[in-house]
Amino acid sequence: MAIKQKLLEGRPHYVVPVVMGVAGVWCGSNGPLLYTAEELRKSVMHWNGRPAVVYHPSMASNCCAGDPDVFNRQRVGTIFNAHFDNKAKALKAEAWLDPKRLAAVDPRVLKSIKEGEMVEVSTGLFLDPMPATGTFNGQEYEAVATNHRPDHLAILPDQIGACSIQMGAGLCRNGYAKIEYEEGPLLLPSSL
């Protein structure tokens, strides 16, 4: 699969495949929670248009990714074409990433995309943990993550996501051989 270059708001963007999460136990900020295929599937329509940011904004201070300061400091793109892959039991989408913003915010992510390297991601979402204990595929959980309310997708150039590459998630997850330029050459700063 090739990464495509398309225009968004009059600017060239890389359209990068991303697996945002796979059904299973994710050990994130709320502890080990079971993310079911049903709940991931129900969240699909809420992901389109959400910002893609480098690292999570400070959720502790009620700062969400929709804040103008986060846009200026961390936003590098937008999530579109979210869908649930029933076979893989995975929440997938396209991350439309602005190469100029990537170069300004964290050039490591841009470099990884150009070199075809997977990058860790993490879903920033609000949820309702339903108390329940159990084991799923050998992993213990303390609650089930229900009522997902997506805020952002965080790209983690040097951290591991709660649903990691090893678990099946990640940016550039599907692999590709090259970048396809569908709408003319991609205009990048000369320093890249």
Which domains are delineated in the chain?
A: 9-178 (3.20.16)
Query: In Å, what is the CA distance from 183 to each residue of 2, 60, 79?
Result: 14, 41, 20
User: In sequence order, which residues have a C-beta less than 8 Å from that of residue 185 and are 6 or more positions away?
Assistant: none
Alpha helices for 141-188 (secondary structure H): none
Tokens read off for 135: 């084991």
CA angle 121, 123, 128 (to 5 degrees): 155
Long-range contacts of 183-188 (CB under 8 A, 24+ apart): 183/5, 183/6, 183/7, 183/12, 186/5, 186/12, 186/14, 186/99, 187/12, 188/99, 188/100, 188/103
pLDDT along the chain (192 residues), means of 10: 88 96 93 97 97 86 80 96 96 97 97 93 95 95 97 97 95 62 44 38
- What pTM was estimated for this model as a whole? 0.88
Q: What is the pLDDT of residue 28?
A: 87
pLDDT in tens, 23-46: 999 998 889 999 999 999 999 999
Q: What is the pLDDT of residue 176?
A: 45
